[in-house]
Amino acid sequence: MIIPVVLAGGSGSRLWPLSRQLHPKQFIAFNSAEDTEQQTLFQMTLSRLQEIPELGAPIIVCNEDHRFLVAEQLRQLGITGATILLEPVGRNTAPAVAMAALIAAPDDRLLVLPADHVIGNRQALQAVIVQGDELARSGHLVTFGIVADSPETGYGYIQCGTAIDGNAYKVQRFVEKPALDTAQQYLDSGDYFWNSGMFMFTAAAYLDELVEHAPHMLQVCRIAHVGLKKDNDFTRIPAEIFSTCPSDSIDYAVMEKTAQAAVIPLDAQWSDLGAWNSLWEIADKDADQNVILGDVNCIAVKNSYIRSESRLVAVIGVEDLVIVETADAVLVARKDQVQAVKQIVQQLEQSGRSESLNHTLVYRPWGSYQSLALGQGYQVKHICVKPGASLSLQMHHQRAEHWVLIKGKATVTCGDKEFELRVNESTYIPLGSKHRLHNAGDAWVELVEVQTGEYLGEDDIVRFDDVYGRAPAAAQHQPG
């Protein structure tokens, strides 16, 4: 059986302000040429595998903060039986895949895929996966090398050696990101491919290589595997054990050392979306070579990427720019300077700015909320609760709340009372009162919440009961 192992971590810094730490790029729909169904990068990673034979339920490796995003996006795809493996701390790709290999059967072929790539030609990808499956069955550890079309200095390279079968080759060596002149030499030689970070091998073969090349890493992962805990839809790796694991990539820990490494060339309109200019390159453009998304008006604009998320953006007389507007931030950059976006995010983090962490629109397991207005002593939110979902039974020490229902019908608990709230009706939640909102219907519930108090931070919440497994009776840094 082929088991997709999707590596869905990521900090959300390179495509800010659309991507944030709590909502990184893999969980965003970017309207790329591949995205014909308004799917996120994570969803496209799984959707493009649907026609692969012997495909099993995926193993998704992500962190705690993104677990509900993963679960919801799997639900939207109709994928059941997936293992959502929560890393308590990042230890790079080699330990993450080791945990997946320990969960899988020894003969299962693990198809290791980053969750944030775009691949325009799905058929080409599926063809090399089928070929990689045959090589993996015979004991090879396969990587897929992207056919290079330019001397990129931001990618690692793989040099191919002798032919194995068809267009597969032994790996001669892995090369770090080269200087421009060296990258041009690689491109001219035809013997080098970009390192895609995609792999395929049996679970047993990968673990055997760790025995030889990274025994301490494997030992820690085996102990952590014994201590795995099932928590609703999630499988948790014990933090006290996994935090002692060496941090290393698959490339360094295994692929550069094994004698069984093989590379299959992949020419499939691939991009890792490493920066905003990458999105400009792969997207459909107008006659002036502009990518225009959202409510945008342009006059005399060329070769630019302009995206509006929440309001009208008007642009006049510019070229080669990236302009991205969200409800709480606007990015303006030259296309050849967008790698510096990461430095902006670092400055925001150092200043304690929330714009590096999250959007005004925040997703939760029960739905979402969006901050509409914030001032001294008050905050207004638009809250959406999906059918059948409930916010936790909770209370606040420092704020009261007023709820006005604008769509659907909700069941409200406040103190020792339980009652229904209908459209155009409102209720008051006094400071210190235990309360909950439940949507028992089959349509979304929407309400406007007005918070009042001297302190309105999201850490002023104590949970007493929660259907999503979040710690009860403890302060949380997330609402609902």
Is 74 inside a domain boundary? yes
Of 239, 271, 303, the last residue of a domain is: 271
Read off the CATH number of the domain in which 431 is found.
2.60.120.10
C-alpha closest to that of 415 among 396, 434, 400, 431: 434
Distance CA 95, CA 98 (A): 5
- Whose tokens are 């059918």? That residue is 387
| First-to-final CA distance of the chain | 40
pLDDT of res. 478: 43
pLDDT of res. 30: 86
pLDDT of res. 468: 80
Is 353 inside a domain boundary? no
Is 351 inside a domain boundary? no
- Its domain, for residue 266, covers 2-271
User: Does residue 311 sit in the same domain as residue 378?
Assistant: no
Count of domains in the chain? 3
Is 411 inside a domain boundary? yes
Contact 129, 268 (CB under 8 A): no
Q: pTM for this structure?
A: 0.89
pLDDT of res. 35: 54
- Phi-psi label, residue 154: left if phi above 0, alpha if psi -120 to 50, beta otherwise: alpha
User: Does residue 165 sit in the same domain as residue 290?
Assistant: no
Contact 449, 380 (CB under 8 A): yes
- Percent of the chain at pLDDT > 70 equals 96
pLDDT of res. 473: 39
Distance CA 271, CA 349 (A): 28
Of 346, 379, 406, the last residue of a domain is: 346
pLDDT of res. 479: 43
**Residue 336: both structure tokens together:** 């050849």
Read off the CATH number of the domain in which 157 is found.
3.90.550.10
Is 479 inside a domain boundary? no
| Residue 89, Cβ density class (10 Å: 0-12 exposed, 13-18 middle, ≥19 buried) | middle
Is 476 inside a domain boundary? no
User: Does residue 130 sit in the same domain as residue 198?
Assistant: yes
pLDDT of res. 194: 95
Cβ-based neighbours of 414, under 8 Å, separated by 6 or more: 427, 429, 433, 434, 435
User: Does residue 208 sit in the same domain as residue 266?
Assistant: yes
**pLDDT, tens digit, for every residue of 344-363?**
999 999 999 989 998 888 88
Is 221 inside a domain boundary? yes
- Whose tokens are 């800010």? That residue is 16
User: Does residue 21 sit in the same domain as residue 112?
Assistant: yes
Q: State which amino acid sits at residue 212.
A: E
User: Does residue 292 sit in the same domain as residue 310?
Assistant: yes
User: Does residue 325 sit in the same domain as residue 394?
Assistant: no
pLDDT of res. 32: 56
| HSE value, Cβ hemisphere, 13 Å, CA-based, for 195 | 22
User: Does residue 289 sit in the same domain as residue 240?
Assistant: no
Contact 400, 451 (CB under 8 A): yes
pLDDT of res. 470: 64
Is 473 inside a domain boundary? no
| Residue 57, Cβ density class (10 Å: 0-12 exposed, 13-18 middle, ≥19 buried) | middle
C-alpha closest to that of 206 among 305, 105, 291: 105
User: Does residue 173 sit in the same domain as residue 97?
Assistant: yes
User: Does residue 214 sit in the same domain as residue 243?
Assistant: yes
**pLDDT, tens digit, for every residue of 284-338?**
999 999 999 999 999 999 999 999 999 999 999 999 999 999 999 999 999 999 9
Backbone angles phi, psi at 208, to 5 degrees: -60, -40
Chain centre distance of CA 267? 24
Of 236, 271, 306, the last residue of a domain is: 271
User: Does residue 176 sit in the same domain as residue 307?
Assistant: no
Cβ-based neighbours of 49, under 8 Å, separated by 6 or more: 4, 55, 111, 126, 129
User: Does residue 311 sit in the same domain as residue 256?
Assistant: no
Which residues of the chain are under the pLDDT cut of 50?
A: 473-479
pLDDT of res. 320: 98
Regarding beta strands 305-308 and 321-325, do their DSSP bridges make them parallel or antiparallel, or are they unpaired? parallel
pLDDT of res. 471: 54
Q: What is the 3-state secondary structure (H, E, C) of the chain?
A: CEEEEEECCCCCCCCCCCCECCECHHHCCCCCCCCCCCCCHHHHHHHCCCCCCCECCCEEEEEHHHHHHHHHHHHHHCCCCCEEEEECCCCCHHHHHHHHHHHCCCCCEEEEEECCCEECCHHHHHHHHHHHHHHHHCCCEEEEEECCCCCCCCCCEEEEEEEEECCEEEEEEEECCCCHHHHHHHHHHCCEEEEEEEEEEEHHHHHHHHHHHCHHHHHHHHHHHHCCEEECCEEECCHHHHCCCCCCCHHHHHHCCCCCEEEEEECCCEECCCCHHHHHHHCCCCCCCCEEECCEEEECCECCEEEECCCCEEEECCECEEEEECCCCEEEEEHHHHHHHHHHHHHHHHCCCHHHCCCCEEEECCEEEEEEEEECCEEEEEEEECCCCECCEEECCCCEEEEEEEECEEEEEECCEEEEEECCCEEEECCCCCEEEECCCCCCEEEEEEEECCCCCCCCCEEEECCCCCCCCCECCCCC
Contact 312, 295 (CB under 8 A): yes
pLDDT of res. 459: 85
